[in-house]
Every structure is written in C-alpha cells, then in structure tokens.
Structure 1
C-alpha cells in the first residue's frame, strides 16, 4: 500500500526553492524597498504562503540579509575560489562587473535601493553595508598597494581616498543609469572613471583644479 505522506523535499530541491524566493525578494525589495516590500507579495511570486517564506528563512530580516549575500555571490560566482582577485586584476574585475550590471537592472536596483535605505536608523541591513564597504575599501586599497610595488611607485598618494572614490563613482553611476539608462552608459562611464583614478594614483599629475 502506498504511503499517503508527502515525500520529503531533497536538498537540491530545497536550495532551488530558496533561490527562487531570493530572486523574488530581490524584485520586491528593489521595487519597493525593505520596509514597504511585503512578504505576501514575495510569496505570491513563487506560489507560496507567507508562512512558507518564513519556514525557509525564519524572518523578513533574515531574508533581507540572504538576498544581499546572494547578490554579492553573483559577482564572484565565476571567479576562482569565488573571491575577487588582487592587484590590476581587481580593477579589471570591477570593470567587468560594470559591463555585467548593464544587463541586470533588477540586481542593480535592489542594491541601490537597499544600500540607500541602510543609512536610516535601525535598518536591518546597516551592519551588512558598513562591513561590506569597509571590506571593499580595504581590498581596493590593497590592490593599489600591489600595483604600486609592481610599477615601482615609491610614493603612492591618497590610496585610501582613491579606493573610496572608485566605489562611490561606481555606485553613483548606477543610480544615474537606473534613473535614465539612455543618458548614462553604465559600463563605459565606470571603466573611464576607474581607469582615470588608477592612472592618477600610479602617475600623479598636476590638474587645473
């Protein structure tokens, strides 16, 4: 006699279901933000109930943090050891990421909305973005140091400011592009800015400013 009990979902199926929920959450959070993005809307996108979402993630806060982690993982999933490279390769990776982002507006919008929201009081993603920017600044600064040694530059100037500036330019261009994709070439403008900042660190020159 066949059992009437449902089959237990296998781990690959569970991972696939969770990923489906994460993608749906990215759509909702990207369009409405965290506070105004209801779990019920996410659940409807994947044919589940509100309780079903909580079964997989425990809470809305936990879902948000996993969405952010999932978004970051998409940037490095094709890289060795799933980690950004060092030295000149790091800057090439940033340029490639900008070209990739030009074809995935949904992911870019989610990041832009949630990172801006995170500066507000008690936002559940604030610590995530604080840690993320700290880590990225350190990694970009280290890449500059590696390049300066390789290029024989003995007095690299303002590396910390250059690292912060590259991240700021990339994020700012994403916002401009999201507002009007026809006015800003995201990939080309990002590459131009990154190359200009790297060149100024490696070979500083006088400017009229």
Structure 2
C-alpha cells in the first residue's frame, strides 16, 4: 500500500468513527426511529450519499454503532481476564463508568425498549446480547460459588437475571432522576448481600 493509499484509508477510518460517534449521540437523543441519516451526515460535514458509502442503510449504521460500543467496552471489561467475584466487581465498575457517559446510557435504554419489537433492526442484537450477558454473569456467580464466596442458597442463574435486571432498572432511574441515583452504590450493596467476601 502506498503512502497516499494509507493516508486515504486512515482518513476513511477516521470519518467512519466520526459517523459512529455522531450516530450514537443522535440515537441517544431521539431514538432509532427519530434519527435522520441526512442530519447525521450534516453533523459529520459530509453529503447524504457520502454517509451511504460507509453505511448503506440506517439499520446497518445502528448495528455498527452497537457493535462499536460493545467492542470498546469489551476490551475494557476483559483487562486482566477477571473471573468470579472480580467479574462481578467489574460490573459495579461499569456502573461507575456509565455514570460518566449519559449519552451512551440513554442510547441503550432507548434502543433496548424500541427493540422489543421483532421488526426493529436491532431486535436480534438485543436478544443475543441479553442472553450472553445473563449467561456470562451466571458463570461468574458459579465461579464465586465454587470459590466459597457466594452465600448458601443463591442460584447463579437466577442471581444473574436479577443483577442484569437491576442494572437496567437503575439506569432508567438514573436517567429520570437527573443522574442523582447512585447506580454503583445500589449494585454494590446488592452484590455484597450475596457474597461472603468483601466486594
């Protein structure tokens, strides 16, 4: 690849990331249905056909936004390859991180609600995402149990469903309270009541 081709490729990648950032902000503001590709293109300083060159449909842009966010969070979450209690602790850390990025929390809350409709382009994405979240969280609870860190009588599968539901509910309360709800504090207290070791 020539130097000029490399610069063109880097410029294209940078524009793609800018489009994802602007789309993420707009989906968070007005939801998927209310977002306009033309407005997103204008915010990025490109034409509507220019945006379609990167993302041919609104649905493809939405899925790219969701995957981009998951990729970034996934890298952060897996640092040090935590297991068991450390993984559960990392979920509390995620609540701390989310308290600093209202736009992303709003995006996921709006889209998760919209995507309950089977016709929504992100429906399959959210079905799979929740399935994986509950499964991986259940594995963490199971590892905590095997290490003797989980209180007697707590089922890892049920505890995982409860924790993910608690996280989502807290995010909605946090958004509606003007960011006053202590998401991490409530999650920490919930988890600590389930564990035999300090969180």
**Using a 3 Å threshold, how does the CA distance of structure 1 residues 18 and 152 change in structure 2: closer, same or farther?**
closer
Paired residues, number: 193
Other structure's SS at 2:76 match: coil
Query: Quick one: distance in 2 between partners of 1:34 and 1:152?
Result: 42
CA deviation profile, 1:54-75 (whole Å, cap 9, x unmatched): 1112211111001111121232
* Paired residues of 2:174 and 2:180 also in contact (CA < 8 A): yes
**Mind listing any 5+ residue stretches in structure 1 that lack a counterpart?**
1-6, 204-209
Contact 2:83–2:140 (8 Å) recurs in 1? yes
| Structure number with bigger Rg | 1
Cα-to-partner distance string for 1:92-148 (whole Å, 9 max, x where unaligned): 110111101111111111111101110023001010010001111110111111111
**13-22 or 93-102: which moved more?**
13-22
Give the unaligned 5+ runs of structure 2. none
Shift, 1:153, TM fit: 6.6
TM-score (norm 2): 0.87
CA contact (8 A) 1:176 1:184 kept: yes
C-alpha separation in 2, matches of 1:85 and 1:11: 35
Give the structure 2 partner of residue 129 of structure 1: 126
CA offset at residue 152 of structure 1?
Answer: 7.4
Cα 1:84–1:94 change in 2 (3 A) is farther
Scaled by the length of structure 1, what TM-score is found?
0.83
